């Protein structure tokens, strides 16, 4: 198929504009991308699986690709949103298995809605980080999200049928109760009497000072 000169000129115009904007945003292109098999001249790669920015790999070849994801949602009052498993009554972070051809954060927000009945409003997020929790080679991408969003009452009819309750627990109580060295400091009696499904991941986040 032949392309007219006018169309080709428009293509060059937009391509040059794109390059100009990219250089303005990232401060100029690199000589060569570090990512294996890429070789393009651009500022960085952001992996949408492990969330590494300026990584040496592309999303398609992520060596730390997680199989599961979860959201640790922290409210302005420093409380953590937990959901309760309908079968064993364990409390846990909303999360689950990443589906095929799904990126980590897309999976996390989907699971959050399916298990809490709430849709996460990204415009209300004030802080977003992630941590790769590795247990015997099985990686869970945990997103630590602080948000001003307030949710309505829990609606079990809007869940996937795996949870039956949602509650906010004080982050300090959880940290004291699940401290790697054992319970320390004052702990809410409600916290000490519940069963946590995510204990190991919580303890690792605490010990590394991430929460």
pLDDT tens digits for 26-43? 444 444 555 555 555 555
State mean pLDDT over 166-191. Answer: 72
> Within a 10 A sphere around the Cβ of 149, how many other Cβ atoms?
17
Query: Dihedral of the CA atoms 102, 209, 192, 182 (nearest 10)?
Result: 120
Query: What is the distance between the alpha carbons of residues 155 and 148, in angstroms, rounded to a whole number?
Result: 20
Q: What angle do CA 97, 103, 108 make, to 5 degrees?
A: 50
State mean pLDDT over 180-185. Answer: 63
Residue 130 has pLDDT above 60, yes or no: yes
Contacts of 57 (CB under 8 A, 6+ apart): 35, 36, 45, 47, 63
Query: Does residue 88 or residue 75 have the better pLDDT?
Result: 75
Query: Does residue 93 or residue 21 have the better pLDDT?
Result: 93
Task: With cut-offs at 50, 70 and 90, classify the pLDDT of residue 79.
Answer: very high
Task: With cut-offs at 50, 70 and 90, classify the pLDDT of residue 129.
Answer: very high
Q: How far is residue 48 from each of residues 43, 54, 66, 110, 167, measured CA to CA in Å?
A: 16, 12, 10, 15, 30
Topology of domain 68-207, per CATH? Nucleoside Triphosphate Pyrophosphohydrolase (3.90.79)
Residue 152 has pLDDT above 80, yes or no: yes
Residue 58's pLDDT is 73
Residue 145's pLDDT is 95
Query: What is the distance between the alpha carbons of residues 112 and 120, in angstroms, rounded to a whole number?
Result: 8
Residue 202 has pLDDT above 80, yes or no: yes
The DSSP element (H or E) to which 126 belongs, if any, is strand 125-135
State mean pLDDT over 121-137. Answer: 92
Residue 17's pLDDT is 67
Query: What is the distance between the alpha carbons of residues 179 and 203, in angstroms, rounded to a whole number?
Result: 6
Here the tokens at position 29 are 């292109």
Contact by Cβ (8 Å): 198, 135: no
End-to-end CA distance of the chain: 58
Domain ranges of the chain: 5-60, 68-207
The DSSP element (H or E) to which 16 belongs, if any, is helix 5-26
pLDDT above 70 covers what percent of the chain?
71
Contact by Cβ (8 Å): 78, 147: no
**Mean pLDDT score of the chain:** 79
DSSP category for residue 131: E
Task: With cut-offs at 50, 70 and 90, classify the pLDDT of residue 81.
Answer: very high
Query: Does residue 206 or residue 198 have the better pLDDT?
Result: 206
State mean pLDDT over 61-79. Answer: 91
């Amino acid at each position: 198929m032949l392309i007219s000169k006018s169309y080709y000129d428009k293509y060059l115009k937009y391509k040059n504009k794109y390059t100009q904007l990219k250089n303005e945003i990232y401060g100029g292109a690199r000589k060569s991308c570090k990512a294996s098999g890429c070789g393009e001249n651009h500022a960085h790669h952001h992996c949408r699986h492990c969330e590494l920015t300026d990584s040496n790999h592309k999303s398609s070849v992520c060596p730390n690709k997680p199989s599961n994801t979860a959201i640790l949602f922290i409210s302005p009052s420093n409380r953590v949103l937990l959901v309760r498993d309908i079968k064993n009554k364990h409390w846990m972070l909303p999360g689950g298995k990443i589906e095929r051809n799904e990126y980590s954060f897309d999976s996390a927000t989907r699971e959050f809605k399916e298990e809490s009945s709430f849709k996460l409003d990204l415009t209300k997020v004030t802080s977003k980080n992630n941590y790769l929790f590795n247990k015997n080679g099985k990686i869970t991408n945990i997103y630590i999200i602080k948000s001003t969003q307030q949710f309505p009452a829990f609606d079990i009819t809007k869940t996937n049928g795996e949870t039956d309750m949602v509650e906010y627990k004080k982050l300090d109580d959880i940290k004291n109760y699940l401290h790697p060295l054992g319970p320390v400091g004052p702990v809410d009696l409600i916290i000490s009497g519940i069963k946590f499904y995510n204990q190991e991941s919580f303890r690792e986040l605490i010990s590394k000072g991430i929460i």
